[in-house]
Amino acid sequence: MLAEELRQMGVGDARMDQHGYVYGSIPAKGEGARPAIGLIAHMDTSDGVVGKTTPRIVKDYDGGPIPLANGVVIDGFDFLPSLKGMDLVVTSGDSVLGADDKAGVAEIMTLCERMTAPNAPDHGKICIAFTPDEEIGRGADLFDVPGFGADYGYTVDGGPLGELEYECFNAASCRVRVKGVNIHPGSAKNQMKNACLIAMEYAGMLPPWERPEHTEGYEGFYHLNAMRGDEEAAELRYIIRDHDAGVFEERKATALRVGEYLNRKYGEGTVTVELKDSYRNMKEIVEQHPEILEKAKEAFRACGVEPVVCPIRGGTDGARLSYMGLPCPNLSTGGYNYHGRKELIPVQSLEKMVDVLEALVTRA
């Protein structure tokens, strides 16, 4: 659908490849050499709250609580007073809004509509890509960097208006499998080895103060995001995150050491810990190209938005792409409370980000 809509706008090379990536480009217009700038957003959304939602717009928000369905109320957030008078797109209270990253897709598509119009201002080549699988850390796995054709890029996948991010977590997934021994509880003494309880013991040995709900800024964490099991077999799934590469390696080593300790306690092979790196902090790549950060700051300021440089407490496709040869910091979309029922985004922020993207490609 996106590829077809781009073609209808006049993006002649718009296409979807066999892996589900959508690519296209708008040729440069005007005199003089300009860099080819890439703009990237992801099509998938979080499944953190399973279900469907019916978005609605709260017109001229009065600054007070916003009641949704199922007894859900958007209230108590520090940023809400700053949105007074705006038109807010909210969920119905049943699931996520999906502005992460439907908002980025919509903003880039609206920019394409502007830049393919006959009266479009002069600009360099604009390279467009929409990716699948970002939310599971696989969005850049099969990205065609050479075919994309950009000198550098920006993911449009951030939060509140004005955010500019080029530091992200180092990330890994961690799967902990526990083998137990089940036996009738009536004769279980000295015989049963309850996999669920051993899994709980594993979880309890990771520092409880190093969980997402107790950390902020540059602080890393261990996040248990899935669990299942019975007496015979149990499984825990974690994501491990830290901005500091050295501390990140220490976190992974801790995850392994806990498993080794429990194997000594309950018998070799009881606990298996599998670690898989997902992406690295893109800072060490992007900071080699300070000019692309300055161009983003200039674009924000040209539209009356003061940029806020901050670390991402997560990751983007840009983290992987930066190490694949495409330096790629992250820009805001304008949204708040991603991955939950209380997600929202102001219409005015959506519109302003299109202005920012236009300034970015026309001022380069």
CB 100 within 8 A of CB 46: yes
Structure tokens at 308: 């806020």
Structure tokens at 130: 């929409």
DSSP notation for 127-149: EEEEES-GGGT-TTTT--HHHH-
Task: Find, among 338, 303, 316, the residue nearest to 162 by Cα.
Answer: 303
Active site amino acids: 44, 134
Helices (H) and strands (E) in the chain, counts: 9, 17
Tell me the CATH architecture of domain 170-279: 2-Layer Sandwich (3.30)
129 by Cβ neighbours in 10 Å (0-12 / 13-18 / 19+) ranks as buried
Q: How confident is the model at residue 137, as a pLDDT? A: 83
Q: How confident is the model at residue 364, as a pLDDT? A: 74
What does the domain layout of the chain look like in residue ranges?
2-168+281-363, 170-279
CB 93 within 8 A of CB 68: yes
| Fold equal for 2-168+281-363 and 170-279 | no
What CATH class has 2-168+281-363? alpha beta
CB 309 within 8 A of CB 164: yes
Could you read off the pLDDT tens digit of each residue along the chain, which spans 364 residues? 999 999 999 999 999 999 999 999 999 999 888 999 999 999 999 988 888 889 999 999 999 999 998 899 999 999 999 999 999 999 999 999 999 999 999 999 999 999 999 999 999 999 999 999 999 888 999 999 999 999 999 999 999 999 999 999 999 999 999 999 999 999 999 999 999 999 999 999 999 999 999 999 999 999 999 999 999 999 999 999 999 999 999 999 999 999 999 999 999 999 999 999 989 999 999 999 999 999 999 999 999 999 999 999 888 999 999 999 999 999 999 999 999 999 999 999 999 999 999 999 998 7
Tell me how far CA of residue 243 lies from CA of 160, 190, 236, 237, in angstroms.
21, 44, 23, 20
DSSP notation for 245-310: HHHHHHHHHHHHHHHHHHHHHH-TTSEEEEEEEEE--THHHHTT-HHHHHHHHHHHHHTT---EE-
DSSP notation for 83-111: GTTS-EEE--SSS---HHHHHHHHHHHHH
b/e map of 63-84 (b: 16 or more CB within 10 Å)? eeebebeeebebeeeeebeebe
Tell me how far CA of residue 286 lies from CA of 54, 80, 319, in angstroms.
38, 32, 9
Taking the CA atoms of residue 177, residue 183, residue 186 and residue 190 in that order, the dihedral angle to the nearest 10 degrees is: -70
CB 116 within 8 A of CB 11: yes
Our CA angle for 164, 166, 167, nearest 5°, is 120
Structure tokens at 289: 């190209």
